[in-house]
């Protein structure tokens, strides 16, 4: 059986963990996250020239464009020039706006008469356009309720009265749970005759008018909301294009060319030039890098746990192998109770 070398296994495990930690370190993640990528790369082999084109928004800081030298096919390419071009054009986007008005009625024709079919809009960032009314979005709600008191009347007729005396007339009556007070009485004289055509007595009919008040509620008004939809556009700067030019120099030629002094050569395109060109642009918001840490830290913890488990298994396996080798070299214990030399029965 092949013996396991515990120190070697431990060294391999620690190396693997160190490699994983360096791969997911915050510095590595930040460097890859903040670096801008070109939209096109144009190579000119005859002129030993490579052009990398970047198109950035006006809010993006161009300081993230990489300007470092690089080597390709035995040729060292260094940044020799940067071209900046402002791209103009029309930018269009969908837009919606809500409108709220007050109406005295919830009738459809009345509401549509208060809402214009189109609405011109202009935003603070320069967009403008015409929006159309969406009839399906119109909603009408009661704005509030009020109350008022009004006069009400009712009449009663009292026939066959022996005299035109108001004492026969009730002073109040109740109708629909409302109390009415006597306000006016109109009398009508009626004569009663017998069979011999002689008057028996006079009779009267009273028509009484009663009055009262009641409180009624009413709708004060309605609140109407509607939405307008459409597209708005603006003309202006849509992007800024940066063309970074890298010029190649053969590695052997550059090493053989003597220099006047031993001082180090400055970079052809220092970073400060790019920053100076971008001073007029608004600063970009810092890009978050902590999101990657939420992925990297659990992975590193998982690798550490796996490494610890592997190390324990290797050490335990090595101990068992050493015990077996000891038994093989000194012989197995006999079945009659004899132990190894120097031990009791």
pLDDT reported for residue 193:
53
11 belongs to a structural domain: yes
**Which of 154, 141, 145 minimizes the C-alpha distance to 215?**
145
Work out the angle at residue 342's Cα, subtended by the Cα atoms of residues 341 and 345, and round it to the nearest 5 degrees. 85
264 belongs to a structural domain: no
Contact of 52 with 246, CB cutoff 8 Å: yes
291 belongs to a structural domain: yes
Contact of 38 with 64, CB cutoff 8 Å: no
Q: What is the pTM of this model?
A: 0.41
| β partners of residue 40 | 53
**Which of 301, 278, 240, 287 minimizes the C-alpha distance to 31?**
287
Question: Rounded to an integer, what distance in angstroms lies between the CA atom of residue 55 and that of residue 31?
Answer: 20
221 belongs to a structural domain: no
Print pLDDT tens along the chain (345 aa): 444 455 555 555 555 555 554 444 443 444 444 578 999 999 987 878 999 999 998 889 999 999 999 998 889 999 999 999 999 888 899 999 999 999 999 999 999 999 999 999 999 888 999 999 999 999 999 998 989 999 999 999 999 888 889 999 999 999 988 999 999 999 998 766 555 555 566 789 999 999 999 998 989 899 999 999 999 998 888 899 999 999 998 876 445 444 444 444 444 444 445 544 444 444 444 444 445 556 667 777 777 877 777 777 777 777 776 666 655 665 544 444 444 444 443
Question: Rounded to an integer, what distance in angstroms lies between the CA atom of residue 340 and that of residue 25?
Answer: 56
CB atoms within 10 A of CB 94: 9
pLDDT reported for residue 328:
62
Contact of 84 with 240, CB cutoff 8 Å: yes
Contact of 201 with 192, CB cutoff 8 Å: yes
Question: Rounded to an integer, what distance in angstroms lies between the CA atom of residue 183 and that of residue 153?
Answer: 9
27 belongs to a structural domain: yes
300 belongs to a structural domain: yes
Q: What residue numbers bound the domain in which 290 lies? A: 1-35+285-329
13 belongs to a structural domain: yes
Total of domains in the chain: 1
CB atoms within 10 A of CB 278: 20
CB atoms within 10 A of CB 225: 14
Question: Rounded to an integer, what distance in angstroms lies between the CA atom of residue 123 and that of residue 335?
Answer: 99
pLDDT reported for residue 221:
92
84 token code pair: 């900046």
Question: Rounded to an integer, what distance in angstroms lies between the CA atom of residue 44 and that of residue 10?
Answer: 51
Question: Rounded to an integer, what distance in angstroms lies between the CA atom of residue 319 and that of residue 312?
Answer: 11
């Amino acid at each position: 059986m092949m013996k396991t070398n515990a120190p070697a296994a431990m060294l391999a495990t620690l190396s693997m963990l160190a490699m994983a930690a360096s791969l997911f370190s915050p510095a590595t993640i930040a460097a890859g996250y903040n670096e801008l990528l070109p939209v096109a790369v144009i190579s000119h082999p005859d002129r030993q020239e490579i052009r990398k084109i970047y198109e950035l928004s006006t809010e993006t800081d161009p300081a993230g464009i990489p300007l470092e030298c690089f080597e390709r096919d035995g040729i060292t390419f260094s940044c020799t020039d940067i071209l900046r071009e402002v791209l103009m054009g029309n930018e269009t986007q969908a837009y919606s706006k809500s409108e709220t008005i007050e109406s005295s009625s919830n009738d459809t024709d009345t509401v549509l008469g208060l809402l214009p079919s189109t609405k011109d809009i202009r935003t603070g960032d320069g967009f403008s356009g015409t929006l159309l009314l969406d009839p399906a979005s119109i909603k009408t709600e009661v704005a509030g309720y009020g109350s008022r008191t009004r006069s009400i009347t009712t009449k009663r007729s009292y026939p066959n009265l022996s005299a035109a005396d108001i004492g026969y007339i009730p002073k109040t009556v109740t109708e629909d749970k409302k109390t009415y007070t006597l306000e006016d009485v109109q009398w009508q004289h009626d004569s009663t005759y017998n069979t011999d055509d002689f008057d028996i007595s006079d009779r009267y009919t009273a028509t009484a008018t009663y009055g009262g008040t009641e409180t009624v509620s009413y709708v004060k008004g309605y609140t109407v909301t509607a939405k307008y939809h459409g597209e708005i556009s603006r003309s202006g700067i849509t992007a800024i294009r940066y063309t970074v030019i890298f010029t190649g120099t053969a590695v052997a030629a550059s090493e053989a060319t003597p220099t006047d002094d031993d001082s180090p050569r400055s970079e052809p395109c220092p970073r400060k030039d790019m920053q100076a060109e971008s001073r007029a642009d608004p600063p970009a918001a810092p890009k978050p890098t902590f999101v990657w840490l939420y992925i990297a830290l659990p992975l590193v913890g998982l690798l550490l746990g796996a490494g610890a488990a592997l190390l324990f298994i290797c050490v335990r396996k090595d101990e068992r192998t050493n015990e077996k080798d000891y038994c093989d070299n000194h012989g197995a214990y006999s079945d009659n109770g004899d132990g190894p030399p120097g031990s009791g029965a």
